[in-house]
Structure 1
Amino acid sequence: MLTRNLADVVIVGAGVVGAACAYYAARAGLDVSVIDRGPVSGGTTGTGEGNLLVSDKEPGPELALAMLSLGLWRELADVLPSRIEYDAKGGLVVASNESGARALRDLAVRQRVAGVTAHEVPADRLRELEPHLASGLAGGCHYPQDAQVMPALAAAHLLRAAGGRVRLRLGEEVTRLLTGADGAVRGVRTQTGEIPAPYVVNAAGAWGGEFAHRAGVELPVQPRRGFVLVTEPLPRVVRHKVYAADYVADVASDAADLQSSPVVEGTAAGPVLIGSSRERVGFDRSLSVPVLRRLAAGATALFPTLAGVRVMRSYAGFRPYLPDHLPAIGPDPRRPGLVHACGHEGAGVGLAPATGLVVARWLSGGDLPLDIHPFRPERFPTAA
């Protein structure tokens, strides 16, 4: 006999965005079912670096969301166990030439107007922040608000902190949405039964477009593959998240072919994480030795001392890309009862708390903390 489980909302996806939606929905008094066909953090979250960044964002809706999230992460760091490895280490963006340094200064001026703290760092003072940094750089900007968490632990502890109002259903795949005669959402069906609920949240990450299609609407989420190298433990060799100014342009790029710029950061546990690459190749997880070599070369160009360091492992992940580089957050008027929380590309961990708070406030009828119009899921034109 099929089981029927009542919930106020079903959240599809147990990554950090889905976990944040569940946490804030439970705090708003809602009963939540979180469903994932894999384990907690089994998708994009489990292959992320855990960055909480404002440094890479132009003023606008995404930066506003990031600023809100930074404050929420600081609150969560006091609530959740220290095992989430929250590290307010700050970021350092460096330029290899004077034109790049000017572009960094211009961006910092605009960001400061939006509330970002950004300090220009002349070339001769870069090593005060990063003693092992390469010589010959033209300057940089220091962003003390940038931080990091361990994303898989953050997702797990958000779900645990949500308490008894959240029921986890792992290893179950949603096979279809339940809808009423008017087309509105009435819950979901999995291989084990039906879960009635008046709302379903699409927090399926890189698979958010696939899930939206299954729900009968189109959302052009595409996977954007990236690789990360993980070194042996090197405590305090790299003190901040350090990246080249080209990284900002790569994040904003619409190109499908490979984009790569050096990103190097230490972690609370000791290993150094090395990125960054972006390419749209579908869900192909194949190891690309040329990309890994490019990442290693970029990292050693920034930190020559890494040339003799062992890489312990590498892994690939998929960022959920939307064409305008903004996530889809909020109700979908094309399918009443369907709410989206996906398409955050590489910023999902950083933007998760604000996304969860927005979704929970909308579900519970509370005041929204910011204008969500730029994130509306129906903003993309329907293909003819």
Structure 2
Amino acid sequence: MTTTVTRDEFPDQIHDEVHSDESATYAAARERSAVLDQLIDEHAASDSSRFRMLTGDRPTGPLHVGHYLGSLRNRVRLQDKGVETFVLVADYQVITDRDVVGEIGHHVHQLVLDYLAAGIDPERSTIFAHSAVPPLNQLVLPFLSLTTDTELRRNPTVKDELALTGGRPLSGLLLTYPVHQAADILFCHARVVPVGRDQLPHVEQTRAIARRFNQRYAAGHSVFTEPEALLSDVPLLLGTDGQKMSKSRGNTINLRDTADQTAARIRGARTDSERRITFEPIARPEVANLLTLAGLFLGEAPEAIAERVGNGGARQLKDVVTEAVNEGLRGHRARRAELERDPGFVSTVLREGNARANEVAERTLATVRAVMGMTY
């Protein structure tokens, strides 16, 4: 029997221990991530397959500055260091939490445009779509046998989405979302998975599935290597309304926006009534967020930008942020506009990436079937 335990039912000491355990786990993950990053610096150029990376996005709408700063720039950095890169357009995941696919073809096209404009090179990185790689999705079946219902329901993403359903039944696709992510990572034997803190449970679930497959079906032989999380140093950015930046909330600064649209969005961003600008993330989160955004584009500490703006108030701060964002995205937007003039190029990139991903997935599935005695 499962019981729901609220915070008030925990003694403070137990709460402190739980929080301490979570902090300790995150601290250990950060240490492993730092070591991994150093190994990439030292060895990726000479041994790219050792550091094969899987990353990607759901095509649910335009990418925004949070994606650019938190993931796109880092993907290009790793690619340029020699990391063998697989970039997933997770079109099947669009329907994990919605009833319709919407303008998915348009969204996929726009997503790939931003990948290419950011510097992801299709000659060095494989850009592919979920739905175009059947053997990848077939791996979900044996992986489901290695995962319990309790584990899936304990996953933070599944729990959060379930809480937002308002009593609506949880779809089987959403419940098994962590297993689909494991298949995404393991089909290409990715060793590196760039994530934020909230995605660490997904990587741990993937590691458990890899370990259990080796033990249960491969007699202890290493068919799958347990991947490692590469944690981002970029803080979580808020949207223009002071809430979490999200495409569904409409509070984003999109990469495809014009300079004027960007300026308008930033002018409308929430701040506070204090004139002097200071960097205080807890006391003044909206102001701190704008300072952080400018700092990430300018390569400066947010405290230094706050000192420079000083008594200039919110208006001057927003002017600084607008200039930083527009200048930081100038090259991206120019490359994007050039790519848009050749719509067939995106189709070619996806077609060739899908073909490469299928080759890799077919080999992996063949190995899995052989290990499981399912070659007839």
TM-score (norm 2): 0.29
Instruction: Give the structure with the higher percent helix.
Output: 2
Larger radius of gyration: 2
Structure ranking higher on relative contact order (CA contacts 8 Å, 6+ apart): 1
Instruction: Give the structure with the higher percent strand.
Output: 1
TM-score (norm 1): 0.29
